[in-house]
Structure 1
């Protein structure tokens, strides 16, 4: 259950569902440091049928005595009464460049009417505003439909914008390592400080501006700085958090901007003075060994 106001605590949500006639258990998600609501909760029903009924009849209706609507979606794990042994295997896709008007219900139906095994959609939002960050994930039970959607839905218009679709990084450590080595080799092969949040962007066209580059990468997190050096076909993006930089590298490496596909790796930042300006250093040049296929620096 999402789009909750800060004042909506567990007691309110419990009473809300009781007034509708549903016997539920509510788990409100809070910030671990501040204990402030993160704007969503897990609602556990007495049966799967009761949950399906709520999703079909209550989702989208108005919450009594408010201007808000119920925003319900299937939990994808980690919720109340969610047991690993009860879950079917899932296959996920990353979906980027979403129109701001696309919500989870629309995104799910957009995929589901083409791929029946697509059973859930999650759009990532800003915690403070609840607004879409422009990307999300869809999950399938059928790996064949996942692969079909990967090919067929990339570039498909969803409302006013073409979708950018790629494989979501699996949680399994071994699969994650294998997939990252293909999607974003720099995350695996390039040594860097764990505090580095600067991404080097290679292969830029001369017509791309710093503002345009910021727009491409801002959905992945807050950005400190964007710099395109004069007369260079590259740029640097410094994120506030390391995680934002990692996700951006996973999802944007090889992305086409104009007629060119960009190459991402870690940039290196140096502080010349305690309060001096940031200067950017280019990453080492890497070459693929013809026999082993591995990248090495020179």
Structure 2
């Protein structure tokens, strides 16, 4: 229905000389505007505003026409924003539902970050896509250095989806970043969570296995386990070379092109919820057969507790599950 379609635009990267009157004058040429609200950032960042139209079709046309256009010498960024009407709709519901919605933000994973990228950098990069509730670059607690990835949380699912689509592959600093939906840890009581899920650090994980090991074990997905699901979950962390899934057993193996990518995946995905299941991730233990397969007839994978899981003939035969 028309009433449910978004009608409010975010307009960012504005010159400090731009006024509400000027914005209304420009955007009203495309369609009747209901109002304009200018936000002046006291921290010294560029101002931005929200423009609400009476009709969705005019807002959509303005988005297409105005995004990237120069206003007073600056190229403005235009995107959808949470509309005032939808906010009123949420607050008019019961208190319990309203509280649940306010907590149900939408989280975007941002990977392959350059070491110099800060929380402020990713917040500024993703701000044009909508209202951000939180942004952070994940740092190693021991060294204080970036782990090469972070998260951006949006109030609006539409904004998060748009950010994932538009920002994937874009350059931020000296690298092309990766974007995807972030997996979230289940809202379990603290005692239960702490007893079942150990918080892992990158330095701890990366040193647990040899640099030649690039394979992640992911277990606990007792239903709905597919190769596509695993690829969607793990692709933000680096180039995937191979995926093997065992739906009847509820686990899979994901082999990356680097040891570091696999370590980032273990740290980020371990203890999160996939298809309603809390998963465990750790290294798939590779034997010497895997390191030098040309001289061996078999490659055998184990979990770190020594359980034999699957093997493959080095000649390229089909992989065989041996658990």
TM-score by length of 1: 0.41
Q: Rg bigger for which structure? A: 2
TM-score by length of 2: 0.39
**Greater share of helix:** 2
